[in-house]
Amino acid sequence: MKTKQHFISIFDEMANEDALKDIRKQAIDTFSQLEFPTRRHEEWKYTNINPIIQKSYTVEENCSVSQETIDGYILGETPGNILVFVNGIFNEELSHIENSEEIIVSNVKGALQKHGEKVTQFVENTTDKEQIFSVLNTALLQDGVFIQVPKNKVVEKPIFVVNVSDSEQQFIHNAKNIIDVGENSQVNIVETYRHGKDSAYFNNITTDVFVAANAHVQHVRLQMESKKAYQITTLNIRQQKDSTYTSVSVDLGGAIVRNNINVDLQDSNIESNLYGLYLGKDEQLIDNHTFIDHAKPHCNSNELYKGILDDKARGVFNGKVLVRQDAQKTNAFQSNQNILLSDNAGVDTKPQLEIFADDVKCSHGATVGELDEGAMFYLRARGIGEKEAHSLLRQAFVGEVLEFVKQDSLREKLEEIVMSHF
Amino acid sequence: MLKIKNLHVSVEGNEILRGLNLEINKGEVHAIMGPNGSGKSTLANVLAGKEDYEVTAGEIIYKGEDLLEMSIEDRSREGIFMAFQYPVEIPGVSMINFLKTALNANREYHEQKKMSAREILKLVREKAKLVEVDDEFLRRAVNEGFSGGEKKRNEILQMAVLGFQLAVLDETDSGLDIDALRIVSEGINQLRGEDNAFVVVTHYQRLLDHIVPDFVHVLYNGAIVKSGDKNLALELEKEGYAWIKEEAAAAS
Amino acid sequence: MSKQQIEELATREYKYGFHSDIDTEIAPKGLSEDIVRLISEKKQEPEWMLEWRLKAFRHWQTMTEPTWPNVKYPPIDYQEAYYYAAPKQQKALESLDELDPKIKETFDKLGIPLLEQKRLAGVAVDAVIDSVSVTTTFKEQLAEKGIIFCSFSEALQEHPDLIKKYIGSVVPHTDNYFAALNSAVFSDGSFCYIPKGVRCPMDLSTYFRINTPNTGQFERTLIIAEEGSYVSYLEGCTAPRFADNQLHAAVVEIIAHESAEVKYSTVQNWYPGDENGVGGIYNFVTKRGICHRSAKISWTQVETGSAITWKYPSVILKGDNSVGEFYSVAVTNNYQQADTGTKMIHLGKNTKSTIVSKGISAGKSHNSYRGLVKVAKSADKARNFSQCDSLLIGDRCGAHTFPYLEIHNKGAKIEHEATTSKVGEDQLFYCAQRGIEMEDAIALIVNGYCKEVLEELPVEFALEAQQLLKISLEGSVG
């Protein structure tokens, strides 16, 4: 009770009087009626969020970050639009927006001023009234990304969203990202989360991606929060027929990270790919929770999540694939592979299939083990030192996820960051 | 033995066979040739009774009875054997168990005593020589992990074990290298007799070097447009199908 | 295959659904401390046993029914059932000839090898009807080797120290709702003790049957395999057709001491309810074994019956180098629901476990695999391989897999695979072209699919299981 009260008092302090006022009010009312999940909830069985919700948070004010720092955070060579948020606050000077007439690339606050009603609608529709972190997000919403691509537009260059957290304070930040991609359009979005000081802040982020018919979206996320920070993300993807959505998500930072990814395949002939990589050290807990809902026939979904866990780190994977009765000819593949580098590291994995259609091909698999000893021996017998052999095998292991990033320069940069993280 | 009159067949609303006529007597081997999409495999599947094929007109009389009224398994028990183009895999079911089940189902239908596992093994081993397969083959699951050649040899083995009066070979030669082709056709030749007949559906003339047909029919646009002896096959090999198409176009 | 034929097949009846008219002694309806005392008194139990039961009963009253299984059923009124029903003839029998002819007839109908000349001659049988053990064959022959195989009640009279030492040592009375209930009201079951170094010369078998309407069956089985011993134990279950649901909440405990091996096979064919989902057994069972150093416990189950099955035969791999295995075929048809699987708890070093689960769903049924593989920090070089496959027949059923993998040792090697497929039309066509009837073709394909599991069963049991699979799936393809 006390913990919820703290968040309600933050709401009261913020006293936001913007266009979202009513929606926020509704959200905080719903929040007060819901309960934070405990480990008794099947969906939170392996992740204890008490350390997150029992802290006291402030709402942080702006702070400055240099242009060079931001430049260093850009992955790859050909940035198009760049949106920069520092401690959750949009920084217009550091951002670079190449706005064409039709495409909207904006922060939510900015979009709210220009396209008030539309944005309000989106915020309302993307608030999940049954999920406590979603209503909390709406109630305390500060800013976020609003991207809308109309029909038949191919956005050539990736859109970068750079989030920097740098504060002495234990702050909470609620960002809401809305990405709406029209028919036959194509877009590539790269989100990064970086940090300056090592404080215990809490980022509660929701992202909603709408992929219209025959649209194609690539969505890359690199999370390098402070080792003391918490991040809870909720990513909802709604896909129309013939569309493709590919997510490549890399988690390196954070004390407790929980990614909820829900994919709703609402029509036929959709392809949905979720790829994830997580490297845990110290006492990090990284939890990926995916749910793919196959409602219509002839859709494919592929999931590959790979983790390497060292020290006392823990990885959690819970992947659920639902194939409804109408979803004949579904192909759904899911795999979770883990390497443990320490005896104190652990993995809890729960790949689930729930199938109601009979003409489907579904499989899931999970493995946990050490680096392949046979391969290690082989490499060393060829004169490769132990350290290098380890590194080679790790590179191969993570490479299987990163190879799904289409652009060479982007992928290479990611590889470099991941490998230097070891 | 088999009379097909004015056969029209549709698959999912598309008419594939459009008035096919064919008569087959005991002791004869009929080769059905034709370009891709002419309806060759449709004919084979209709004879076996595959359900997706809708007969919209015409009749098929087999041993004096209406074949189209018979169930798939009864056709089999009455002696129609289909050697599949793509033999299906049945994981976990051993060859020997499969043959035992099929053979005893046949025997039961003909009011014969069921055979014991031992008798069946003896019979199968003997027939297995025909297509050069060993005991290890019999322990494997039906078609599972079989190479293309093994699958086709398996079809001929089943033909030998289960017996037949009219064998329908659906592109049994496609995908086979020359050695496999030799083994398969020798097996078939040894099974030829005065009381049985063959319909050999093929895309390639080379099979007919090994299995010499009495008649060759060219199927085009869902009907037999030309019939002849084995020389017709040689002519097709040399000239291709273009002249057949022209002739057919001229005729209509 | 014609529509009519399919309908005929679909309406074929449960073969084992006869009700034997045996004179039965029934305790009053409902559950209370008095009933617990009554059961204990009827069985002339020692005081400590009654105390243990009462402790369990009091604990049960504080518990709530679990809701996490993927099954749905109306609330059970525990006061509406009878907790004790025994065939009246209770005095010890000198020989099998003295058995009530009606009971014998029941066993004959079930095809149980009660008499030596029966087809399964060589199997020692303990038969439990409604909760009470009726007879045990081959007792003397086993006694020569020092093997004790008798009903639980008898063991309680004659070997109370063994029972006292081991009861609740693997499944404590606090373990779960149904285990607690069983601990309070269990009325009989089987007891089996294999002395050190003895290889049991024959399969031991228990046949369970519920015969009286509205009775719960709460048997308890305890198997103790001393160092270096071996036993293969078979369990069969049937029940007559009743329109009401009946509760079966059994507990099985296995203790495998150093280098011992226990193979436990079950063919469960409780009445599954009719084609509209009326009636049938609620089969809520706790089965667990503990392996000491280098011991092995292997569970094999073929589950075709019960309206609802909720069961996870488990192995605690406590000793180093111990091995746990679980082979399961679970078939659901019509409105049956099954939530079944296993738990493999790796505590010792170099422990190995294998899980092979084959679910088959037909009709409007739901079949869930739920399995836990846990590797504790202490379990260096633990190995697990799990495979759980689902086969769907028809498009109104559901197949679900819920594997839980909790791995906390870096030397572990854990692999889990799962697939879902269906009986293909092309496979059925191929078989039909070879003259095989659809019903036989399905049996052939299903048996092929289940082969890895059926191979684990003793031969006679495997044949029975194959027959059962066929009967259970009759009429499932349209």
The DSSP bridge partners found for residue B141 are B94
Tell me if C416 and A364 make a contact (CB, 8 A cut-off): yes
The pLDDT score that the predictor gives to residue A163 is 94
Query: How many CB atoms within 10 Å of residue A245?
Result: 23
Q: Do C435 and B106 touch (CB under 8 A)?
A: yes
pLDDT for residue C118: 35
Q: What is the dihedral of CA C102, C108, C112, C118, to 10 degrees?
A: 120
Q: What pLDDT is stored for residue C209 in this prediction?
A: 65
Does residue B187 surpass a pLDDT of 70? yes
Over range C117-129, report the average pLDDT. 47
Q: List chain C residues with CB under 8 Å of A340.
A: 407, 409-410, 412
Which residues of chain B neighbour C478 with C-beta distances below 8 Å?
A: none
Chains in contact with C, where contact means 3 or more Cβ–Cβ distances below 8 Å, are: A, B
Distance from CA of C184 to the nearest CA of B (A): 44
Region of poorest pLDDT, from A1-10, A151-160, A372-381, B171-180: A372-381
> Across the interface, do B92 and C447 touch by the CB < 8 Å criterion?
yes
Min mean pLDDT across A44-58, C120-134, C189-203 is at: C120-134
Contacts of A343 in chain C (CB under 8 A): 377, 409-411
- pLDDT greater than 80 at residue B115: yes
The answer to whether residue C478 sits within a structural domain is no
Residue A187: predicted pLDDT: 93
Predicted confidence at residue C73, as pLDDT, reads 82
Q: How confident is the model at residue C113 (pLDDT cuts 50, 70, 90)?
A: very low
Instruction: State the average pLDDT over residues A105-129.
Output: 91
Using 50, 70 and 90 to split pLDDT, how confident is the model at C473? confident
For domain B2-251, give the fold.
Answer: Rossmann fold (3.40.50)
ipTM, 2 decimals? 0.78
Minimal-distance CA residue of chain A relative to C422:
A358
- Subunits adjacent to chain B (3 or more Cβ pairs under 8 Å): C
The band of A62, judged by pLDDT with boundaries at 50, 70 and 90, is: low
Segment C153-204, tens digit of pLDDT = 889 999 999 999 999 999 999 999 999 999 999 888 889 999 999 999 888 8
Percent of chain A with pLDDT over 90: 55
Instruction: Quote the pLDDT of residue C154.
Output: 87
- What mean pLDDT do residues C72-77 have? 83
Provide the shortest C-alpha distance from residue B51 to chain C (in Å): 9
pLDDT in tens, A340-393: 988 899 999 988 888 888 777 788 888 888 877 767 766 676 667 777 778 878
CB C214 within 8 A of CB C101: no
Residues 6+ apart with CB under 8 A from A125: none
- Segments making up each domain of chain B, as ranges: 2-251
Q: Judge: A368–C407 Cβ closer than 8 Å, yes or no.
A: yes
pLDDT of A261: 97
User: What whole-number distance in Å separates Cα of residue C305 and Cα of residue C240?
Assistant: 12
pLDDT class for B62, splitting at 50, 70, 90? Answer: very high
- Which two structure tokens, joined as six digits, stand for B58? 């015409």
Span C345-368, pLDDT tens digits: 999 999 999 999 999 888 888 899
Query: If you average pLDDT over residues A220-230, what whole number do you get?
Result: 95
C interface with A, Cβ–Cβ < 8 A, is: 68, 375, 377, 390, 392-422
Q: C310: closest CA among C44, C68, C56?
A: C68
pLDDT (tens digit, 9 = 90+) per residue, A314-328? 999 999 999 998 888
Handedness of CA C129, C132, C134, C136 (dihedral sign): positive
Q: How confident is the model at residue C6 (pLDDT cuts 50, 70, 90)?
A: very low
* DSSP-derived 3-state class of residue C292: coil
Task: Give C-chain residues touching B120 at CB under 8 angstroms.
Answer: none
Cβ-defined contact of C402 to A345 (cutoff 8 Å)? no
pLDDT 10s digits, B89-110: 777 778 888 888 888 888 888 9
Work out the mean pLDDT of chain A and round it to a whole number. Answer: 89
Does some domain include residue C263?
yes
Q: Which of C375, C400, C415 sits opposite A354 (nearest CB)?
A: C400
Percent of chain A at pLDDT above 70?
96
Least confident of A374-378, C334-338, C446-450: A374-378
Residues of B in contact with C469 (CB under 8 A): none
**Region C273-290: what's the mean pLDDT?**
87
pLDDT at B52 over 50: yes
pLDDT for C3 equals: 37
Q: Predicted confidence band at C75 (pLDDT cuts at 50, 70, 90)?
A: confident
Residue C383 pLDDT > 80, yes or no? yes
Position C472 scores a pLDDT of 74
Longest Cα–Cα distance in chain C: 68
Closest residue to C449, CB basis, from B84, B92, B162 = B92
Q: Over 80: is that where the pLDDT of C24 sits?
A: no
The mean pLDDT of B164-181, rounded to a whole number, is 85
Please give the mean pLDDT across all residues of chain C: 81
Q: C6 in contact with B at a CB cutoff of 8 Å? A: no
Nearest CB to C402; choose among A328, A350, A370 = A350
pLDDT of residue A406: 86
Tell me the C-alpha to C-alpha distance, in Å, between residue A401 and each of A261, A281, A370, B67: 17, 19, 18, 57
The pLDDT of residue A188 is 93
Residues A149, A150, A156: CA angle, nearest 5 degrees: 50
Mean pLDDT on C297-310: 90
Question: Full-prediction pTM beyond 0.90?
Answer: no
State how far the alpha carbon of A176 is from the alpha carbons of A179, A208, A224, A229, C233, in Å: 10, 8, 19, 18, 60
Query: Is the pLDDT score of C140 beyond 50?
Result: yes
Q: Which residues of B touch C1 (CB under 8 A)?
A: 71
Interchain CB contact of A373 with C (< 8 Å)? no
Nearest to A277 by CA among A309, A245, A318, A319: A309
Q: How far is CA C156 from CA B44, C15, C218, C226, in A?
A: 71, 35, 16, 19
**Local confidence band at C439 (pLDDT 50, 70, 90 cut-offs):** confident
Touching pair A, B by Cβ (3+ pairs < 8 Å)? no
**Are the Cβ atoms of C414 and A359 closer than 8 angstroms?**
no
In 3D space, the residue among A161, A142, A133, A140 whose CA is nearest the CA of residue A62 turns out to be A142
**C426 interaction partners in chain B (CB closer than 8 Å):** 88
Local structure of residue A150 (DSSP, 8 states): -
Low-confidence winner among A278-292, B217-231, C14-28 (lowest mean pLDDT): C14-28
A interface test, pick of C332, C372, C377, C407 with most A CB neighbours within 10 Å: C407
Question: Where exactly are the structural domains of chain A?
Answer: 2-267, 375-422
Residue C124 has pLDDT above 70, yes or no: no
| pLDDT value at residue B28 | 94
B93 CB neighbours in chain C (<8 A) are 444-445, 447-448
For every residue of C124-185, DSSP letters joined together read EEEEEETTEEEEE-SHHHHHHTT-EEEEHHHHHHH-HHHHHHHTTSSS-TTS-HHHHHHHHH
Best mutation target, C64, C405, C413, to test chain A (most A CBs within 10 A): C405
Q: Which of B87, B91, B109 sits opposite C448 (nearest CB)?
A: B91
Window from A200-214, B125-139, C216-230, C343-357 with minimum mean pLDDT: B125-139
**Within a domain: C477:** no
Judge whether residue C102 has pLDDT over 50: yes
Shortest alpha-carbon distance between residue A323 and chain C (Å): 9
**pLDDT, tens digit, 9 for 90 and up, residues A125-146:** 999 999 999 999 999 999 999 9
Å from C420 to nearest chain B CA?
A: 14
- Of the listed ranges A149-153, A385-389, C144-148, the one predicted with least confidence: A385-389
